[in-house]
Amino acid sequence: MTAGVGPLGATPGADHSTDSYLPAHGNGGYRVLHYDLDLDYRVPTNRLAGKAVVTARAMHSLSRFSLDLGSFRVQDVRVDGRSAKFAHRSGKLRVRPERPIAYGTAFKIEIRYAGTPVPIPGRWGDIGWDELTDGALVASQPNGAPSWFPCNDRPADKATFLVTLTAAAPYSVVVTGDLVSLRRGSGTRTWVYERNEPTAPYLMSVQIGRYELVDLATGGVTQRAAVPRRLRPLFGHDFARQGEIMAVFEEVLGPYPFREYVVVVADDDLDDPIEAQGMAVFGRNHLDGRRTHERLVAHELAHQWFGNSLTVADWRHIWLNEGFATYAEWLWSAVSGGPSADVLAARWHARLATEPATIVIADPGVDRMFDPTVYKRGALTLHALRTRVGDAAFFTLLRSWVAEHQHGTVTTDGFREHVRRFASVDGLLTAWLDRPELPALPVFGL
């Protein structure tokens, strides 16, 4: 425990968490408007020192509140410039300001902290800030953001960010956002990134390594990559169609929702690629010179629309991220010379039919929110909808779903209501989303 101006206990119920799957994360008593993070990272010792200024608005009258923060030493906490009592234990930084904060009031929390950033352990493994062989990466879905900064760790609490990070000069630093400044010091470089679109904490990412920064595609959306020099030949082949994938997705989904897209290839093996806001991170094992993993290239790009611009209100709606991104893979396959969406749907339907039907896609449960069935059956739900309503209505409702909820939060019930504007298919959606039994794929037009 780290004590501040005086002792502060963990009062039951004080955190007002509203996440149904991760109730220990987040605080519903306020909404964050902006994070200003000033960080110093030492690669050889994996030491991070930071000052976070969190601007928030009270959603209730607050005599106390909490933020999520991993295993750092908290040196000081101030609220609106005044020293505040605080306690830091078990991933929660609990704060009692000198004066209560009235409902609707905007206030600023300043936290100084330092220590060794380590991932957040949990049922999905270690999530968040992770050391590489020579550098660091952040992959925070779903609950890893507190591994490197104090936050209100709920997907629905989206805010803007300014991130300043200083590291040794040989290393490149890539943060989700637009690079607005690069200052050179004595043996160091300070990188400043701004994220103006509302962003969930888990979608903020930092990548530090000996990377070369290269153009990924020309024309249209700015697309860049950070790649180790020795991997550039493989990368150049495996990501050669990145610009084409972007063009296809902009046609079927609507305009790319951010100013640029950055791909990072870490010089370490990663189990899976991971999306962040305006960014996707791959391991060196995802490059082989044969485009073996191109479906993942498409999948991670699709998350910029589904997951990043349209963010789930809480984690039980995860199929709105993963089912949609998986279906985008199928759309790319169909236009790039691979199997059509019809063929892929039939294959996956046949495979799922051999497995126990135990997951309700609309609410799979925290233990199975990343189960492959959520991904594939989510995609099958969209294909069944497309088959029932026809291409014209399907792609119109898809593009309008994206446009109307840009940079917002979404729910499964919200998607049902959206679909009702285009077709009467409540029974189809109920069968696919609310019941574990696998429905038959509909026949076109029936």
Binding residues for Zn(2+): 299, 303, 322
Residue 355 annotated to the active site? no
Alpha-carbon span 262 to 339, nearest angstrom: 28
Paired with 179 in beta bridges are 193
Which residue out of 275, 300, 327, 329 is catalytically annotated? 300
Sign of CA dihedral 420, 422, 428, 429: negative
Q: How far apart are the first and last CA of the chain?
A: 62
Residue 275 annotated to the active site? no
Q: What are the E-state strand segments in 90-177?
A: 92-96, 106-115, 120-122, 125-132, 135-139, 159-168, 172-175
Alpha-carbon span 169 to 388, nearest angstrom: 56
135-139 and 82-83 beta bridge pairing = unpaired
What region does 104 belong to: left with phi over 0, alpha with psi -120 to 50, or beta? left
- What backbone phi and psi angles, to 5 degrees, belong to 300? -70, -35
Secondary structure class of 31 (helix, strand, coil): strand
The Cα-based distances of 81 to 96, 148, 298 in angstroms read: 13, 23, 46
Alpha-carbon span 193 to 413, nearest angstrom: 35
Alpha-carbon span 168 to 406, nearest angstrom: 37
Alpha-carbon span 183 to 389, nearest angstrom: 54
Secondary structure class of 155 (helix, strand, coil): coil
Annotated binding site: 299, 303, 322
Alpha-carbon span 310 to 406, nearest angstrom: 6
The residues that are catalytic are 300, 375
